[in-house]
Amino acid sequence: MPDLVLPLIAWFVVFVFSTTLHEAGHAFAAMRLGDRTAYHGGQVSLNPLPHIQREPFGMVVVPILSFVLMQGQWMFGWASVPYDPRWAMRWPRKAALMALAGPAANLILVVIAAVAIKLLVAAGFFEAPALLGFSQLAEGTAAPGSGPAALLLSILFSLNLVLLIFNLLPLPPLDGSGAIQLFLPENASRRYQEFLLGHPMWAWVGIVAAWRLFWPVFEPVQRFAIALLYP
């Protein structure tokens, strides 16, 4: 258990930061597109406290518990922002763009982490590890601080790649389900939203299906991303 303390802190810091940016992306996009619900709730912010206050179980309890139960392999949890379903019903295309804003934030963090790792490997501050893992996409050298920096950037890359792919699965209540509305006529999009709002049980079905579908989708994407990182 003592060996898990530093990785736990690193994972939790990156998880809270990444989840906050994801949800702030949704909230900011909604505000700019005409729905100020999340803005009034304080979610258009990179301050994690409003997001933790909204989802303390999903952003604190479950991530720490999942990390301990999985013996430090990785961490999961959830967060959310409020929105006005009447606005989403009236403007389905805008609602779809709002849904995509969260994964877009995760994609930006993946790219930032990848560029930082490549530059620091080239500079000799990091080196490629003998064995790749979620928390080990780079290793520190003898340079002071290189070990913790390699750990944080490895987690930033891996966790945000997970958040990106998982949330883009086209299943309710994930963001990919909302993004479907970009490809539907407006009338069909409204009927789609009415169906989901009228049958909330489909959200649970979607979550179960997403867990089954995630790894077959994620693994080839992960291999491709690592191949770009270490060609």
- Does residue 23 carry a catalytic annotation? yes
Rounded Cα distance between 19 and 102, Å, is 9
Instruction: Identify the burial level of 204 via C-beta atoms within 10 angstroms of its C-beta, where 0-12 means exposed, 13-18 middle and 19 or more buried.
Output: exposed
Please state the separation of Cα 114 from the chain's center in Å: 16
Q: Which residues of 145-154 are buried (b: 16+ CB within 10 A; e: fewer)?
A: ebbebbbbbb
Contact 89, 10 (CB under 8 A): no
Helix (H, G, I), strand (E, B) or coil at 45: coil
Beta bridge partners of 127: 139
In this structure, what are the phi and psi dihedrals at residue 127, rounded to the nearest 5 degrees? Answer: -140, 155
What are 40's two structure tokens?
A: 């009034």
Phi-psi region of 81 (alpha: psi -120 to 50; beta: other; left: phi over 0): beta
Of 23, 55, 139, 194, the catalytic one is 23
What are 145's two structure tokens?
A: 């601080």
Query: Which of 51, 66, 28, 55 is closest to 159 using CA atoms?
Result: 66
Catalytic site positions: 23
